[in-house]
Amino acid sequence: MAEDFLFSGEEVEEVTQPTIGTWKVLIVDDEPEVHAVTKLALSDFTFRDKSLDFLSAYSGTEATNLLKEHSDIAIVLLDVVMETDDAGLKVADFIRNELENDSIRIILRTGQPGQAPERQVIVNYDINDYKSKTELTAQKLFTVIMAGLRSYRDIMSLRTTQDGLKKIISASSDIFSVHSMEQFIDGVMMQLTSILGCGEEQAMYASNSLMVNCQPTDSDTELKVVAGQGRFGAVVGKRVSEISDIINDELQGAFAEAIKRRAIVYRGNYLIAYCHSKFSTNSLLFVSGIPTDLSNNKRDLVELFAQNVQVAYESIQLKIELEASQTELLQRLGGAIEKRLNDRGEHIYRVGQISAMLAELYGLSNSQIELLKRASGLHDTGKILLSDDILKAPKSLTEEQWQAVKQAPVEGYKILAGSERELIQIGAIVAQQHHEHWDGTGYPDGLSGTDIHIYARIVSIANVYDSLRSKLVYKDAWSHEKAIEYLFEQSGKKFDPKLIELFDRNQSKFSALY
């Protein structure tokens, strides 16, 4: 039967052109000849610079197995009568109802139209096209596949757009989380590749970190990768000049052209978009795997999109810059207090890092970890009011001096309390409670157990461990082993036993961090 369709005396022109990917087409038919002639008739088919990748199934069972394995099949050329009279219809039902896949275009091909009436099948099984094998010439098959792929492309483009919007919205709602910039860039790239109808989504964001107007005076050494996808994911943070094996001379030349023209440069199957900034560094947006025949309308969309991306990117940059400035200010304030104590400026930084690591092991969220890391530097704020004869006393304190020390957490809390900023609120809690003990023998309020805030319990351990490891005015530095032994001794007394257990299981990490 296979010889009765597909060719019909037509000559197929041989056209050879480079492709940048494939569309998967599943042929489901129990006649091997049908598979052979279908592949032959469509051997030179390309759409949007992508060729066809054929999968073959000779029964309904084989078809369902392949559909489970390949979620990216674009078209199914489906026979009706195979191992049973309705095997093909069962496959169609499996696609739509069990896989819940309404993206795949199902083209029913039957040599026995009476077995599956066209109107009934199209309505009941969500079939996209219905053809009798005897009417399918090579040209008609070409037309059917082209229409199916266009429909599949549009559906996937809409879904990519939705996914991209979701990622951008997610990033916007949690802009201070540690992954916000990565989420934002990922969403942006999904949006752009959707606009372009890209095949292989590989993207990079390169920013001129030295010159605001992006006019280079020393080739590419000023360009730095700040976010990437695909093969560029491994080079984030590196300068373009350092990764010539990935960004070759041709691509660097395109970067230079985009900067010089302050425009979008199209070359082959990639583009570089110049994004102008009024407030910070200009940027280059690189996307590969794009169609080579972009319409003028799509090029206009890309230009508009690129400029709006820069505006959104700058908004996030500004928030991150404010956060970084805030963190540095807190560290410098805490460092100033520590230098009054014993000139150990690195103590604040290490307490923050140790607290963050312990908080992560405990299971706090990323946002909580980040806030605690920054707020921990305020733990000794109250000591700024103590005199030097107390802060730098080489021997035991008098009772009067000890009472002043015990009052320092209260004074620290007073300094920080009342702020509407969550970061300062956490700093106030830590300043007030980090000298409270698990068994209730601490100060200033004699809190015990979980009445002590988890932030304060964490900082208490981080502060003591770092202090024990450091040389102070009244003691020499302790070894890691001796410091750990002390923490164990005080587990359930000064310190939360669960936190000490976590510290114990990860000793090497904390020692290396110090």
Residues known to be catalytic:
383
Q: Which residue type sits at 370?
A: E
Closest by Cα among 358, 347, 352, 376 to 503: 358
Phi, psi of 96 (to 5 degrees): -80, -40
Beta bridge partners of 129: 107
H/E element holding 75? strand 73-79
Residues 90, 68 contacting (CB under 8 angstroms) = no
Alpha-carbon gap, residue 19 to 208, rounded angstroms: 33
Distance CA 273, CA 262 (A): 8
- Counting Cβ atoms within 10 Å, is residue 423 exposed (0-12), middle (13-18) or buried (19+)? buried
CA distances from 115 to 84, 123, 265, 267, 443 (A): 11, 15, 55, 52, 86
C-alpha closest to that of 226 among 202, 203, 204, 258: 204
314-351 as b/e, with b when 16 or more CB fall inside 10 Å? bebbeeeeeeeeebeebbebbbebbeebbebeebbbbb
- β-strand partners of 491: 495
Closest CA to 17 of 43, 38, 54: 43
Token duo for residue 357? 């690591």
